[in-house]
């Protein structure tokens, strides 16, 4: 299936590892020029750039920046426009999950999760929307939430879960606001998947996690990334304000 993405430009926040890495790779495989955002991991981001250029034959760049800082976000978009062209699709993937249970969670850590996960989604989305409206162009925004937004977490990740719930509300509101302008905003809510954040707990007792999923296993980042890439494509042009569950059956409704 031709997704019609060749020569588009996409920014993936937190794109250098985990789910973000898979999203970058799959977008590049479809011919998308990818900007890989990182905050303090230039080596990993630049290595992914090298791999994408070699494997997919498209251009990619690493862009440093804190998504929770307005000035950083504006600089990222300026750099992308200069090196790759105007952004057509934004994937708000960057996330922070405080390691402490709620009773031990500091206000600073709670606020950091809100700033990276929720404010970062807002700032990057606002920057793209401003630029698209100024040029009269259409675009796609895909926000990454989590099944934890609906189900909570057994390990007490309240700050993370609350921020991911906020992302869903933000998606719906922005989608309504931008629909007349042809700017489509959707959300993906992954279930359990093997990433750096979950790896220590999964490695300690993999069967406990597998039993929680109706399909009997954790998801692969590539399986979630495939849905994100679809939402970036013209095949999803009649979708906006949707939250797509990719959870192996954790969410059934």
Q: Which residues are catalytic?
A: 160
DSSP string, 199-250: HHHHHH-HHHHHHHSTTSSPBPHHHHHHHHHHHHSGGGTT--S-EEEESTTS
Strand pairing class (183-190; 9-12) = unpaired
Q: Which residues, 6 or more positions from 177, have their beta carbon under 8 angstroms from its beta carbon?
A: none
Pairing of strands 243-246, 89-92: unpaired
CA distances from 117 to 2, 88, 114 (A): 32, 21, 5
**Among candidates 53, 61, 57, 52, which has minimal Cα distance to 79?**
61
Task: Please classify residue 207 by burial: count the beta carbons closer than 10 Å to its beta carbon, then call 0-12 exposed, 13-18 middle and 19+ buried.
Answer: exposed
d(CA 206, CA 192): 11
Which residues 6+ apart lie within 8 Å of 180 measured at CB? none
Provide DSSP, 27-69: HHHTT-EEEEEESS-HHHHHHHHHHHHHHH---EEEEE--TT-
Provide CB contacts within 8 A for 152, sequence distance 6+.
158, 161
């Amino acid at each position: 299936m031709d997704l019609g993405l060749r020569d588009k430009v996409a920014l993936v926040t937190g794109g250098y590892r985990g789910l973000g890495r898979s999203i970058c790779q799959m977008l590049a495989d479809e011919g998308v020029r990818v900007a890989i955002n990182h905050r303090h991991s230039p080596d990993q981001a630049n290595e992914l750039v090298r791999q994408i250029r070699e494997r997919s034959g498209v251009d990619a760049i690493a862009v440093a920046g804190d998504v929770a800082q307005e000035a950083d976000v504006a600089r990222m978009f300026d750099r992308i426009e200069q090196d790759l062209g105007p952004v057509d699709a934004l994937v708000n993937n960057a996330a922070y999950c405080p390691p402490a249970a709620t009773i031990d969670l500091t206000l600073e850590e709670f606020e950091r999760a809100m700033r990276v996960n929720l404010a970062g989604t807002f700032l990057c989305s606002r920057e793209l929307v401003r630029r698209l409206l100024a040029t009269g162009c259409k675009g796609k925004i895909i926000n990454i939430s989590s099944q934890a937004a609906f189900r909570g977490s057994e390990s007490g990740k309240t700050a993370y879960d609350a921020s991911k719930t906020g992302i869903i509300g933000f998606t719906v509101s922005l989608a309504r606001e931008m629909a007349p302008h042809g700017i489509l905003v959707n959300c993906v809510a992954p279930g359990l998947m093997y990433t750096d954040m979950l790896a220590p707990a999964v490695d300690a007792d993999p069967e406990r996690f597998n039993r929680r999923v109706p399909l009997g296993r954790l998801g692969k980042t590539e399986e979630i990334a495939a849905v994100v890439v679809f939402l970036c494509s013209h095949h999803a042009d009649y979708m906006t304000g949707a939250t797509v569950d990719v959870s192996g059956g954790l969410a059934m409704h």
